Amino acid sequence: MEGTGSVCIIGSGPTGLYAADEIRRLAPGVTVDVVDRLPTPYGLVRGGVAPDHQKTKSVVRQFEPLFTAHGVRFIGNVSVGEDVELAELRRLYDAVVIAVGAAGDRKLGVPGEDLPGVYGSAGFVGWYNGHPDYAHMRPRIPGPRVAVVGNGNVALDVARILALTPGEMAATDLARPAAEAIAATPLTDIYLLGRRGPLEAQFTSAELREMGELAAAHPVVHPGDLPDAVPDDIDPRDARRLKRNLEILRGFADLPPPPPGEDRVRIHFLFRHAPRAILGNARDGVTALLVERTQVAGGTVRATGATTSLAVGTVVTCIGYRATPFRGLPLDEERGVIANAEGVVEPGLYVAGWARHGPRGVITANRASARDAAAMAVEHLAAHGENRPGGPALEALLASRGYRTVAFADWQRIDEAERAAAAQGRPREKFIRVADMLAVIEAADATTSCAAGGAAAAAEAPPA
């Protein structure tokens, strides 16, 4: 299908770019603009993937040609719901695809959750990844003990990043303020806890294995917490992962304790432990986490009444995310997603990725819903498209309001400056404030303008 018309994709993370790629494949004649509220593209890859997982971040290489060779435009530094309304985008474009992810944290729902020293993973991960939304954060990590609540890969990421040595940090793009704060914190113990058991944990084997490969950390697992085998009635695909995970956990359980005098951060895997209260006060912050031992039977978690207190100064919750829609979008409160029916918010307005179905899977797991949204947008254009003006009209509207949009070429200048500023061995030194990113672009614009002015003056000068 050739097709014409215009589509606006809100959100430049992997889901949005998978959708853009699919639209280009299905309908090469359709104009595709990707709008993002930050001056930087790639969403979760830049702001969510762990800074020591540079191989995972390399997925951006497959997206770059969209902007450099295939005609998709990046329009950054545009906040939908503030700089421009969703209703205005719908008037300017024939179809709109929402791919904004899920940036809000689910709550534990226990007393003390609002104490200083308690952080959701969205903010904590954003802080150590240098996301501008969290540039102001100064997390309270007094040490020597931290609790990380959750039994998924995000919880593993948080625990691992806190356990990195300065030498390990040197090869990452960990934000400098976070690297300095973590290096200065004298941690001895990290408690990684979940209310279910190891068979219910959502760790991938590769991430779990990394916990035993850290330079100065020692994973601690109680053998009695591990089942003898994976039950036969588990789905074969899950069973393979769980068997590998049990092997890794048994290896951790068999590790001898570190030699006396060797400083290692102990990472305690506390399965079947549910948070019941966070203790402390507004002045001193968190002082302890009260946890209750649980039982899991028939998929149901049951309380045992046996509680213990972990003396920690920081609690990071990694128990899932919720969509935080901008003005004009309906929210399904129960599921924590943008209200939709199989990706359709209403005709001409579609949603994909975490904002559609909640957080799950690795980056590529969002490709299916992105393709669904792209196909529905193209079908809508074929039946109802009016060849609306799209990007040029949007940029004119924003310019009339005094907003400075950021093109992909502008992002490339930011990218170049970050790489140039990095110490040897580091992939980049991230700018963590939007103002600093825009300053790079403005400086480059000024240099280009001066160079052009000098060339014009030389061309007009009379011969000697």
Task: Report the catalytic residues.
Answer: 53, 157, 363-364
152 is an annotated ligand-binding site residue: yes
196 is an annotated ligand-binding site residue: yes
Ramachandran bin of 100, using left for φ above 0, alpha for ψ from -120 to 50, beta for the remaining angles: alpha
Which residues in 207-299 belong to E strands, given as ranges? 217-220, 265-270, 273-281, 285-297
Rounded distance, CA 171 to CA 190, Å?
A: 23
153 is an annotated ligand-binding site residue: yes
264 is an annotated ligand-binding site residue: no
Ramachandran bin of 87, using left for φ above 0, alpha for ψ from -120 to 50, beta for the remaining angles: alpha
80 is an annotated ligand-binding site residue: yes
190 is an annotated ligand-binding site residue: no
What tokens does 7 get? 């589509």
Task: Identify the H or E element spanning 445.
Answer: helix 434-460
354 is an annotated ligand-binding site residue: yes
Task: Identify the H or E element spanning 91.
Answer: helix 86-92
212 is an annotated ligand-binding site residue: no
244 is an annotated ligand-binding site residue: no
Alpha-carbon distance values, 222 to 175, 219, 272 (Å):
34, 10, 12
Whether 110 and 278 have beta carbons less than 8 Å apart is answered as: yes
CA angle 189, 193, 195 (to 5 degrees): 160
Whether 172 and 51 have beta carbons less than 8 Å apart is answered as: yes
84 is an annotated ligand-binding site residue: no
Rounded distance, CA 189 to CA 311, Å?
A: 10
Whether 84 and 328 have beta carbons less than 8 Å apart is answered as: no
As beta bridge partners, residue 149 has: 193, 317
Backbone angles phi, psi at 449, to 5 degrees: -65, -40
387 is an annotated ligand-binding site residue: no
Binding region: 44, 80, 151-154, 195-196, 207, 354, 361-363
Binding region for NADP(+): 151-154, 195-196, 207, 361
Binding region for FAD: 44, 80, 354, 361-363
